[in-house]
Amino acid sequence: MTPRLWAAGALVVLLVALIVFTVTTVPWHRSPAPRADQLAALDQLPADQVARSRAFHAALRPGSYTSMILGLVLALVLGLTPLGARIVELAGRPFGGHWLAQAVLGGLAVVLVTELITLPLAAWRHTIVVRYGISTQSWSGWSVDLLKSLGVGAVLGAVVLAAFYTVTHFAPRWWWAIGAAGAAGLVVLLSFILPVVVEPVFNRFTPMPDGPLRTELLALAERDGVPVKDVLVADASRRTRAVNAYVSGLGPTRRIVVYDTMLTEATPGEVVSVAAHELGHAKDNDVLTGTIMGALGAATAVIMLYLLGSWQWLLRLAGVDSIAEPRAIGLLLAVTTVAGLIAGPAQAFVSRRVEARADTHALALTGDPQTFEAMQRRLGTVNLADPDPPSWEHAMFASHPSTVQRMAAARAWARGDR
């Protein structure tokens, strides 16, 4: 049997595994609370705060959608014309056109082109979040974080590009199998190392001082049966006024992280309510589930890219001979960009169901729907979340239930609708 037939068979197996795993682990039955409850919750929010939140998102939309469209257009131009291949060639020319130099430097150059062209839109967004008081960063601080992000992305990208094209170079017939296994393994590895290696690049984490709140959070985790290594405070205030808390890491790296802004803006009970929600993710192994889904998806994507290599018309548009050569990096960018836009709404839908389950977990763990609802009002008000966004936009992009959906869910839980 040829490698292509083996790849097609492996793709079917991976797709079935991904579908079965998703169907059996995602809480599909968790629908939003009744619309009447949502409207009642919306009516109780201060009208001026609702108007300010909606004005904030209205100001962001033009730049956000322009950036998304521009990113898609750039990816298609770089991938479906010889321009991407030409950039890769130029990047590798100082090193004699060596395939590894083309792979690493050419790949980074293609990504850098898109980053630079969309940079003005990112800067425009920064002006808006500063104007509305969400961001506390100066332009220098914003620029430093941007450079850090580019640096981290460049390091990870260089490693991935070097590994991928080394495999395609030395195993031209079976690179899809090695690449699929490597992509899956990389997703799993990053789930463990990102919290302890990458997160500290952007924030400083210090142990929460001993006191009633730290004691209560650790007791909450113990009562929930979720081992955590520590409770940390992130210095989020140096860049934002937004409030948040989360549980990060897997196994020995798991810790509760609270924004320092949360400690100043929210009550201790609200902090506990947020932590209870995040512990729900750990209790239900949502990070592990997401990691497995990501690993299966990454392996599937590699094999699909291999099979796309038989589409000669696609290769001709890109001006390349093989999808496995470094000069085809632009084509890979185009394919992954389109695939990401198509898969985005489905991923958002799954995320909202998982988040709704974590909300229910928080309500059950704390037994305090009033504080949970107050916490949702706090998050929405301080973070300027649109409490009731347009339904189409929510369905396409929202990773969490809306503020009024979460408030309504707390009311439904309080009256026994569980």
pLDDT digits (tens, 9 = 90+) for 56-65: 999 999 999 9
Q: How confident is the model at residue 418 (pLDDT cuts 50, 70, 90)?
A: low
Dihedral of alpha carbons 54, 59, 60, 64, sign: positive
For residue 363, give every residue at least 6 positions away whose Cβ sits within 8 Å of its Cβ, in sequence order, or none: 369, 372, 409, 410, 413
* Separation of alpha carbons 346 and 396, rounded Å: 8
> Which residue in the list 37, 260, 270, 278 is annotated as catalytic?
278
- Residue 38: which domain range? 3-202+285-414
Asked whether the predicted pLDDT for residue 266 surpasses 80, the reply is yes
Mean pLDDT, residues 128-142 taken together: 94
Query: 286 catalytic, yes or no?
Result: no
The mean pLDDT of 169-194, rounded to a whole number, is 91
Confidence check: pLDDT of 32 > 80: no
- Is 86 part of any domain? yes
pLDDT at 195 over 90: no
Structural domain includes residue 266 = no
Q: Which amino acid, 270? A: E
Is residue 231 within 8 Å of residue 258, measured between CB atoms? yes
Q: Say if residue 417's pLDDT is above 80.
A: no
Any domain includes 243: no
What pLDDT shows up at residue 201? 80
pLDDT of residue 217: 92
Angle between helices 139-170 and 175-193 (to 10 degrees): 150
Decide which of 278 and 250 is more confident: 278
The verdict on residue 131 lying in a domain is yes
Let me know if residue 220 belongs to a domain: no
User: Which one is catalytic: 359, 368, 373, 388?
Assistant: 359
Q: What is the mean pLDDT of residues 399-412?
A: 94
CA nearest 197: which of 138, 139, 253, 150? 253
393 assigned to a ligand binding site: no
Does the pLDDT value for residue 416 go beyond 80? no
H or E element at residue 233: strand 231-234
How far is it, in rounded angstroms, from Cα 388 to Cα 369? 20
Give 96's DSSP letter: T
Q: Both tokens of residue 295? A: 């690993």
359 is a catalytic site residue: yes
Question: Contact, 234 vs 205, CB < 8 A?
Answer: yes
177-181, 266-270, 346-350, 414-418, range with the lowest pLDDT = 414-418
Tell me the CA distances in angstroms from 21 to 180, 284, 302, 348, one per residue in order. Answer: 18, 14, 19, 17
Letter for the amino acid at 107?
Answer: G
pLDDT more than 70, % of the chain: 98
Give the CA diameter of the chain. 72
Lowest mean pLDDT among 83-92, 145-154, 249-258: 249-258
- Which residues in 209-246 are b (16+ Cβ under 10 Å) and which e? eeeebbebbbebbeebebebeebbbbebbebbbbbbbb
More reliable by pLDDT, 196 or 383: 383
In a domain, 35, yes or no: yes
Alpha helix (H) residue ranges in 80-138: 83-92, 99-101, 107-131
More confident residue, 176 or 230: 176
What is the C-alpha separation between 354 and 27, in angstroms, rounded? 6
Is residue 29 classed as helix, strand or coil in its secondary structure?
A: coil
Mean pLDDT over each residue of the chain, to the nearest integer: 92
Which of 96-110, 226-240, 324-338 has the least mean pLDDT? 226-240
400 is in an annotated binding site: no
Residue 77, pLDDT > 90, answer yes
Cβ neighbours of residue 294 under 8 Å, at least 6 residues apart? 187, 191
| Distance, CA of 331 to CA of 326 (rounded, Å) | 10
265 is in an annotated binding site: no
Q: What's the number of domains the chain is made of?
A: 1
Separation between Cα atoms, residue 64 and residue 71, nearest integer Å:
11
Distance of alpha carbon 412 from alpha carbon 76, whole angstroms: 47
End-to-end CA distance of the chain: 53
CA distances from 115 to 112, 134, 150, 306 (A): 5, 23, 9, 27
> With bands split at pLDDT 50, 70 and 90, how would you rate the model's confidence at 190?
confident
The answer to the question of residue 222 being in a domain is no
Cα 54 to Cα 132: distance, rounded to the nearest angstrom: 11
Confidence of residue 245 (pLDDT cuts 50, 70, 90): confident
Any domain includes 215:
no
